[in-house]
Amino acid sequence: MSPKEIIELQRKRPFPGFRILNPDGASYVVRHPEMMLVTQSRVYITIPPSREGAPPAGAVYCDPVHITRIEPLNGERKGASRKR
């Protein structure tokens, strides 16, 4: 997916929350728009803290090109599959 498409989803209000899926089977849940940072070459996703009010436990990143799809947390499939 392009960074622009990801940013559009991140800016949607109300924020629906979604799951980012990669071709290696990894998936990351984003429940709040501030849990991620999108740049031209990376999407940084924070790992939620173990307790409320604590800072994030860490972060992971992936290349936007390798994001195969994004699924809303409510189960509807709105994210487009990346075409080659």
78 found inside a domain:
no
Q: Tokens for 12?
A: 């949607």
**Structural domain contains residue 81:** no
The answer to whether 17 and 33 are in contact (CB under 8 A) is no
Helix or strand (DSSP H, E) at 27: strand 27-30
Residue type at 22 in one-letter notation: N
Find the range with the poorest average confidence among 38-47, 58-67, 72-81: 72-81
Please give the distance of CA 82 from its chain centroid, rounded to a whole number: 15
Percent of the residues in the chain that have a pLDDT greater than 70, as a whole number: 88
Report if residue 34 sits inside a domain.
yes
Q: What is the pLDDT of residues 31-62, one digit of tens each?
A: 999 999 999 999 999 998 889 889 999 999 99
4-24 mean pLDDT? 95
Record the pTM.
0.80
DSSP letter, residue 4: H
> Which residues constitute the domain of residue 37?
3-72
CATH number of the domain that 9 lies in?
2.30.30
